[in-house]
Chains A and B, each alone.
Chain A
Amino acid sequence: MEKKKLVIGVIGADVHAVGIQILYHAFTDAGFDVTNLGVMVSQEEYIAAAIETKADAIVVSSLYGQGELDCRGMREKCDEAGLKGILLYCGGNIVIGKQEFSDVEKRFKSMGFDRAFPPGTAPETTIAALKEDLGVQD
C-alpha cells in the first residue's frame, strides 16, 4: 500500500528545532512519507506543501505558547485552497499557562482541528492516532 503522506512543521515565530526533527524520524520510522517544513512555518507554507505533495494530514507543532493564535483560521484556509477534509493535528505547548487540557482540546476542535495533543505527548500516541484516522493497518 502507498505510504500516507504527512506535512509537519513548527508554526509561527517559533524556533524550537529539535522536537520537529524527532517527530520527523519517529513518523518516518512508523512508515509515513513525511515532508518536514522545519521551524517558523506559516499556515500558507503548510498548505502549499500539502497541495503539491497531496498530503493526507498536516501535523502542526507549537512549543512557545502562541499556538492558538497561530492556528486560527487554518481549517478555513485549507478549505479555500481545495484541501477539504484534510486531517489537521496540533500538539506541543499549544497554549500559555496552566489550563485544563480538555478545554484547550475543545477550542482546537471548534477551530476545525481533528485532534490536539497536550504537552509531553509521546510520538507513539500521535502515530497511533494517525494510523487510526488514516486507516493504516499494521
Chain B
Amino acid sequence: MGAVLLIDFGSTYTKVTAVDVENERLLGTAAAYTTIQTDINDGLANALALLEQTTGPLAFSARYACSSAAGGLRMAVSGLVPELTAEAAKQASLGAGAKIAKIYSYDLTEDDAEEIDQLQPDIFLLVGGTDGGNTATILNNAKMLATCKRDFPVVIAGNRSAARQCQRYLEGRETYLCENVMPRFGQLNIEPAQSQIRALFLRRIIQAKGLSKATELISGILMPTPSAMMRAMQLLAEGCEGESGIGDLMALDVGGATTDVYSIAEGMPQDATTVYKGLPEPYIKRTVEGDIGMRYSIHGIVEAAGLSRVAQLAGLEPAQFQQMTDHLASHTDEIPQSEDWERLDFALASMACETAARRHAGTTEEAYTMAGKVFVQTGKDLRQVRQLVVTGGSLIHTKRTGEIAAHAFFSPADPMSLRPIKARVLVDRRYILAAMGLLAEHHPQAALRIMKKELIPDGYSK
C-alpha cells in the first residue's frame, strides 16, 4: 500500500500531509501560499513540490481533501425563540463546520430578507417550533425567504407539521427536509440537519467555489476543514476499534481571523445540588469566536481582555502596545521577529485562549433557596476534563505553549466559568489535526495512533 495524501485547501495556504498508513507514521507536511485568484491546483502542485523536497518522490494510493477556501461554508439560520430553536440551529450549523453569517429569531421581516440577500449565505437553515408546536413563524419565514433574489439552498429542519408547506412556499428553490433540530422541548437532534448540510457542501459548494477542478485529482471526502478537525477530536477522545482514546477533551484552534473551540464531553451537572438550566448542549460541541484572532481580529482580543491587562501581560506600555497591534492588524502576514513582538503575541494568544474558552464553557451561579444553597448551571461543565489540545500558529510556533494554553483553564478569579481545572496540554506541533480527521474516515486506527505519537505534552496547569 502506498502513501496517502491529505490536503487542506485554506484561504491563504494549501497544506499537504503525507502519511504511511501501514506503518502509522507521518511522512511529511508542507504548505504553499495560494490566493483566491490563482488556480487551486497551482497551490496544490506547489505544496506537493515542497513536500517531495523533504520526503523524496511519493506515490499516493489515495488523496483526500478538506477545504475552508473562499470563505469556507457560510450559513444563515432562522429559528423561533433565541435560546431554544434558534440556538439549536446555531449548534447544528457550527457542528457541520459552517461559519454563521447571522442568526435570526421570531418572524423574518422584509428587511431581513433583503439583508439575507446581501449576506449571500451558501446554505440557509430554516427551523422553528417543536414537532406539533408553533407553525406560524416557520411558515412566515419560508414565505419571506421565497422573496429572496439570490439562489441558495434551504435546509428545513423545524416543526414537522409545517415542513411540507414550507417546501411549497419555497418552490423553485433547492430545498431539503430534515428531522426537527428540536423535536421536543429541550431535546437537541442536530445530526440529521448536520449530515444534510455536509452533503450539500460536497455537492454544491465545492463546485460553486472553483474547487471542482481539483476534485478530479482527489479520491474523496471533501469536507469543511472544521468538520475534519472535529472528527479528529472525537476520534482522539473516544478511540476506535483496536485503539483506545484519551478521554474527554477540549481543543483550541487560535487562528488569524477566528478562534475555534471544541469540546468532547457530556458536561452535565456532577452532583445533586446543581440544577441545569437552558438547552442541553451537544456532546461534541464547537464554538467559533469571530472577533478573536491573532491578526485580522487582533482588536477583538484587546477589546475582550482590556488594553491595560493584555499590555501588562506583554510587559509593554499601553501606548506602545496599541501601536504594535494596529501595525499587525494591517500587516496580517507578519510573524514575530524580536523579543518585544514575541511578548506581544504571547499576551494576545493567552487572552485569545482565555476569552474563547470562557465563551465555550458553561457557567454556574449560586442561588439561595429555602432548602439551602444550590448551583444553577448553564452550558457545559468542563472542570473535570483532563486534556487540552491546542493548535494554530501562535501556539505551535512558540516555546511558551503551555503558559499560553494555561489561560484557558479554570481560574479562581473567575470561579463561575466551568473550564478545565487540571488538564494536560497537548500541542499539535506539526499542524496535522485536520489531516488526521480526514484520514480517520478510512483509516481511523492509523489516524489515532499518529495523533497519539505526534501530539506533544507541554505544560500542566498549576
- Chain A residues within 8 Å of B, Cβ to Cβ: 2, 5, 7, 13-16, 33, 35, 38-40, 45, 48-49, 51-54, 64-65
Q: A35-B185, A40-B275, A48-B83 are in contact. Are A54 and B370 (CB under 8 A)?
A: no
A52 near B369 with CB under 8 A, answer no
- Chain B residues within 8 Å of A, Cβ to Cβ: 80-81, 83-85, 128-130, 132-135, 182, 184-186, 275, 277, 367-371, 374, 376
Q: A13-B368, A14-B369, A48-B81 are in contact. Are A53 and B134 (CB under 8 A)?
A: yes
The CA-CA distance from A116 to B153 in the complex, in Å, is 49
Q: Identify B182's interface contact among A38, A52, A64, A65, CB under 8 A.
A: A52
The CA-CA distance from A2 to B133 in the complex, in Å, is 11
Hey, which chain B residues are within 8 Å of A35, CB to CB? 184-186
B369 near A54 with CB under 8 A, answer no
Hey, which chain A residues are within 8 Å of B134, CB to CB? 51-54
Q: Which 3 A-B pairs have the closest CB atoms?
A: A53-B133, A35-B185, A54-B133
B370 near A52 with CB under 8 A, answer no
Q: List 11 additional contacts besides A14-B369, A53-B133; criterion CB under 8 Å.
A: A13-B369, A14-B370, A15-B275, A15-B369, A15-B374, A39-B275, A40-B275, A52-B130, A53-B130, A53-B132, A65-B370
The CA-CA distance from A65 to B369 in the complex, in Å, is 11
B135 near A54 with CB under 8 A, answer yes
5 contacts across the A-B interface (CB closer than 8 A):
A15-B275, A35-B186, A52-B80, A52-B133, A53-B185
Hey, which chain A residues are within 8 Å of B135, CB to CB? 54
The CA-CA distance from A55 to B364 in the complex, in Å, is 30
Min CB–CB distance B15 → chain A (angstroms)? 42
Q: Which residue of B lies closest to A7 (CB)?
A: B185
The CA-CA distance from A16 to B372 in the complex, in Å, is 12
A64 near B81 with CB under 8 A, answer no
Hey, which chain B residues are within 8 Å of A48, CB to CB? 81, 83-84
The CA-CA distance from A40 to B186 in the complex, in Å, is 15
The CA-CA distance from A64 to B370 in the complex, in Å, is 7
A40 near B370 with CB under 8 A, answer no
B374 near A52 with CB under 8 A, answer no
B275 near A51 with CB under 8 A, answer no
Min CB–CB distance B385 → chain A (angstroms)? 26
B81 near A52 with CB under 8 A, answer yes
B129 near A64 with CB under 8 A, answer no
Hey, which chain A residues are within 8 Å of B185, CB to CB? 7, 35, 49, 52-53
The CA-CA distance from A2 to B128 in the complex, in Å, is 20
The CA-CA distance from A65 to B182 in the complex, in Å, is 34
Q: Identify B81's interface contact among A5, A15, A51, CB under 8 A.
A: A51
Q: Identify B376's interface contact among A2, A16, A40, A64, CB under 8 A.
A: A40
Hey, which chain B residues are within 8 Å of A33, CB to CB? 132
The CA-CA distance from A54 to B185 in the complex, in Å, is 11
Hey, which chain A residues are within 8 Å of B184, CB to CB? 35
B133 near A38 with CB under 8 A, answer no
Q: Which residue of A lies closest to B371 (CB)?
A: A15
Q: A13-B367, A13-B368, A40-B367 are in contact. Are A54 and B129 (CB under 8 A)?
A: yes
Hey, which chain A residues are within 8 Å of B277, CB to CB? 40, 45
The CA-CA distance from A15 to B276 in the complex, in Å, is 12
Hey, which chain B residues are within 8 Å of A5, CB to CB? 132-133
Q: Which residue of A lies closest to B85 (CB)?
A: A52
The CA-CA distance from A27 to B369 in the complex, in Å, is 27
A52 near B84 with CB under 8 A, answer yes
The CA-CA distance from A100 to B131 in the complex, in Å, is 42
Q: A39-B275, A52-B84, A52-B185 are in contact. Are A2 and B371 (CB under 8 A)?
A: no
The CA-CA distance from A5 to B134 in the complex, in Å, is 11
Min CB–CB distance B82 → chain A (angstroms)? 9
Hey, which chain A residues are within 8 Å of B133, CB to CB? 5, 52-54
The CA-CA distance from A49 to B81 in the complex, in Å, is 9
A64 near B130 with CB under 8 A, answer no
B371 near A52 with CB under 8 A, answer no
Hey, which chain B residues are within 8 Å of A15, CB to CB? 275, 369-371, 374
Hey, which chain B residues are within 8 Å of A38, CB to CB? 275
Min CB–CB distance B295 → chain A (angstroms)? 39
Instruction: Give the interface centre of A14, A33, A52 by most chain B CB atoms within 10 Å.
Output: A52
The CA-CA distance from A93 to B404 in the complex, in Å, is 53
A64 near B85 with CB under 8 A, answer no
Instruction: Give the interface centre of A2, A39, A53, A65 by most chain B CB atoms within 10 Å.
Output: A53
A52 near B275 with CB under 8 A, answer no
Hey, which chain B residues are within 8 Å of A49, CB to CB? 84, 185-186
The CA-CA distance from A13 to B130 in the complex, in Å, is 27
The CA-CA distance from A45 to B129 in the complex, in Å, is 15
Hey, which chain A residues are within 8 Å of B129, CB to CB? 52-54
Hey, which chain B residues are within 8 Å of A7, CB to CB? 185
Min CB–CB distance B371 → chain A (angstroms)? 5
Hey, which chain B residues are within 8 Å of A64, CB to CB? 369-370
Hey, which chain A residues are within 8 Å of B85, CB to CB? 52
The CA-CA distance from A54 to B369 in the complex, in Å, is 31
Hey, which chain B residues are within 8 Å of A53, CB to CB? 129-130, 132-134, 185
Q: Which residue of B lies closest to A12 (CB)?
A: B369
Instruction: Give the interface centre of B85, B367, B368, B371 by most chain A CB atoms within 10 Å.
Output: B371
Hey, which chain A residues are within 8 Å of B367, CB to CB? 13, 40
Q: Which residue of A lies closest to B83 (CB)?
A: A48
Q: Which residue of A lies closest to B107 (CB)?
A: A82
